[in-house]
Amino acid sequence: MSKKTWYGLASVLVVAAVVLSACGGAATEAPEQALAVGIVLPTREEPRWIQDETRFRDALGAAGYEVEILFSQGDSARERANVEDLITRGVQVLIICPQDATAAAAAAEAARAAGVRVISYDRLIRETEAVDYYVTFDSIAVGAAQGQYLVDHATGSGNPLYLYAGAATDNNAFLFFEGAWNVLQPRIADGTFVIVNSSEAVALQGEATLTRDQMGQIIGQITTNWDFNTAKSLAEANLTAAAAADKGDVFILAPNDGTARAIADAFLADGDVTSYVVTGQDAEIASVQYIIDGKQSMTVLKDVRTLVADAIAAAIAYLEGRTPPQTTTYNNGVIDVPAVPSAVIAVDRDNVVEAIIDSGYWPASEFTGLP
C-alpha cells in the first residue's frame, strides 16, 4: 500500500480516533491514529492465526496505526460478542475470519445492520447476504497442489492413500478437498492409488466432481476438525484398522501443517509403514523444520503478508468510499461474494530455502539443518 493512501486516510482516521477515544473517556491528549477497523480471528489454538495476528500488527505498526484484533477462541458466541464490542466502539469496517462459517452469519448481519462493511477474511461466511468482500487465497489451488504432490511422487499402481480433511464448519475444508479430489480422483480411477481409510470416498471414487453434499459425507468421515489430537487419534485408528498390505509405502493427504505433523507422527510410529509422503499447508515454522528433517514432505506457502495487505487495502477502500478490486466471486450459499484470490506456492525440501528463507517469510535463524 502506498504511503499516499495512508496519509490520504488520515482525516478519516482522526475523526474515528476522536470517536473511539470519546467512547473510552475524556480525551486529554492528541488522539492516536486508531484505524476505524476491527479484526476478529478464530482462535489462538491453531498456529495459522498467530501468523495473521503478527503480520497484521507488523503492517499496521509500520504504518503507524492501532487496530483492535480480537480472538474468538473457537466459540461462535464469543465471536458474536467480539463483533458487538467492535460495533459499539464505532468501527466502520469489520475484518472477520469466522470460526464457523454459518454461525458467523448472525454476527455479520448485526454488523451490516449497524452500517459496518463486512470483509470475510480467509474463510468465507456462509448463508447470508451480509458479506461485502472476501479476502482469500486460492484455496482450490491449495488442495490441487497437495493432490499433485502425491501424484508426482507415486509410481506404479495400488499405492495406499489415506485422506484427511479440515473442519466441516470451515468452508475452506471443502475448497481444499475439492482441489485435491480434482487431481487425485483420475489417479484413483486409473488404479495408481487405493483409498484406505474412507468408505464414503471409496463409494464416490468414480465421480470426477462431487457435490457439496457428497464432499460433506466424505469430510464427515475423515475430518480432523483442524485439531492435532483429533488428527492423531484418527490416524492411529485408521492404522489399527488397516491391513499390513495397506501400509508399506503410503501417501497421505493431510489438510494443514498442524494436522500433518500429528498424522506424520502416527505413521512414523507404525512399524508396518516403510515410507510416507504427506502434504500440509501454512508454512508453519514447526512444519518447515519437519520438511528440513524429512518428517513432512511438503507444505503450501500462503504468504499471509499478502492477505493482510489485501485486507487492509480493502478496508481503506471502503473507508474512502471506494470498492475493492474483484477478479472472481465465491458463492456463499446465498450470494456471490467478490474476491481477488491470492496465489500459493508448493514448498518441499528442494525449494524450501528459496521459498521460505530467501523470500523473507521466516528467518533462517528459526531452523536447524537447512539444506
Q: What are phi and psi of 336, to 5 degrees?
A: -95, 120
Q: Which is nearer to ligand BGC, 270 or 303 (CB)?
A: 303
- Please answer whether residues 141 and 197 qualify as being in contact, where contact means their C-beta atoms are separated by less than 8 angstroms: no
Measuring CA to CA, how many Å separate 336 from each of 1, 15, 146, 178, 339? 26, 33, 26, 18, 9
Would you count residue 79 as binding ligand BGC (CB under 6 A)?
Answer: no
**Under DSSP, is residue 300 helix (H, G, I), strand (E, B) or coil?**
strand
Q: Which is nearer to ligand BGC, 246 or 282 (CB)?
A: 282
Secondary element (H or E) of residue 316: helix 304-319
- Please answer whether residues 256 and 226 qualify as being in contact, where contact means their C-beta atoms are separated by less than 8 angstroms: yes
Would you count residue 296 as binding ligand BGC (CB under 6 A)?
Answer: no
Q: Which of residues 313-332 bind ligand BGC (CB under 6 A)?
A: none
Q: Which is nearer to ligand BGC, 100 or 170 (CB)?
A: 170
Q: How far is the CB of 255 from ligand BGC (least distance, A)?
A: 7
Binding-site string for ligand BGC from residue 169 to residue 188, where x marks contact by CB under 6 A and - marks none:
-x-x----------------
Site stretch for ligand BGC (CB under 6 A), options 74-82, 112-120, 166-174, 328-336: 166-174
Q: Which is nearer to ligand BGC, 65 or 361 (CB)?
A: 361
Q: How far is the CB of 40 from ligand BGC (least distance, A)?
A: 14
Q: Which is nearer to ligand BGC, 159 or 225 (CB)?
A: 225
Closest of 349, 259, 254 to residue 297, by C-alpha: 349
Residue with cell 470517536: 19
Would you count residue 46 as binding ligand BGC (CB under 6 A)?
Answer: yes
Would you count residue 100 as binding ligand BGC (CB under 6 A)?
Answer: no
* 159-163, strands of its sheet edge to edge: 193-195, 159-163, 248-253, 273-278
Would you count residue 55 as binding ligand BGC (CB under 6 A)?
Answer: no
Residue with cell 486529554: 28
- The strand pair at 298-301 and 345-348 is best described as antiparallel
Q: How far is the CB of 57 from ligand BGC (least distance, A)?
A: 18
Binding footprint of ligand BGC on the chain (CB under 6 A): 46, 48, 122-123, 166, 170, 172, 226, 256, 281-282
